[in-house]
Amino acid sequence: MTQAEQRRAAFTTVADGVHRISEAYVNFYLVESRDGLTLVDSGLPASWKTLDAALRGLGHSLDDIKALVLTHAHFDHLGLAHRLHTQFGVPVWVHSGDSFIARHPYRYRHEKSRFVFSLAHPGGLPVLARMAAAGALRVRGVDGVTLFPAEADEAGPRSLPVPGYPEVVFSPGHTAGHCGLYLRDRGVLFSGDALVTLDPYTGRTGPRIVAGAATMDSRQNLETLAQLAQTGASLVLPGHGEPWTGGIKEAVAAARRAAAA
């Protein structure tokens, strides 16, 4: 498929069988496998048509999605989950630490007042406005989620039984149950919001953690970047911002230098 065709199909192929969908400064991803598709995160409600267009551009349909796996359950990653789960029977996988947020996407812990922080950091306002226009204020929660295996927290990465078999990399801090997802055979790490290349709350770019206006514990977030670094992934695909091709170790070092906002 040519680049022009990919633009019309609303996706970008970023690795073998891995496709990025980006809308309103939020990324989510399709993973192709012989046994179907896994969706990693699910953007905002306005992305439904974008997802459908991407699937058709890849020669698939919504029925080919066998699982939605969440890096975490904040509203901007949960946007399509309710509809996929209730209308298409797609199981929604999440860490137990984020199961409450999955049901109540606007009830989560964060260090700083979002309103006050936004006034002090106007660079993030255009990003947040785009997200709001894409439905950030009307995301529905999901009941009946499927939980990651509990042993993934302590025993190192464990593969999920979904297409692509991503390994769960427990990396709390942004939320209590945040997890990276690693495709070992492709060298690809989905870093969610534990490490981004665009902070929606400041508008700053480059590897960093998300500001305290949306992060539960910035110190823990910075500490647990070590778990992501241990994967040695060559390609990092964040929840916000452009893919990082310099490798996870370099990204983690840059994020630590940037510190918390």
Could you report the per-residue pLDDT of 165-213, keeping only the tens digit for each?
Answer: 999 999 999 999 999 999 999 999 999 999 999 999 999 999 999 999 9
Q: Give the three-class secondary structure for 117.
A: helix
Q: Radius of gyration of the chain from Cα atoms?
A: 17
Task: Please report, for the chain, the start and end positions of each structural domain, with discontinuous segments joined by +.
Answer: 3-258
Q: What is the DSSP letter of 172?
A: -
Neighbours of 134 (CB within 10 A): 21
* Proportion of the chain above pLDDT 70, given as a percent: 94
Could you report the per-residue pLDDT of 123-164, keeping only the tens digit for each?
Answer: 999 999 999 999 999 999 999 999 998 755 555 568 999 999
Fold (topology level) of 3-258: Metallo-beta-lactamase; Chain A (3.60.15)
151/63 Cα distance (integer angstroms): 30
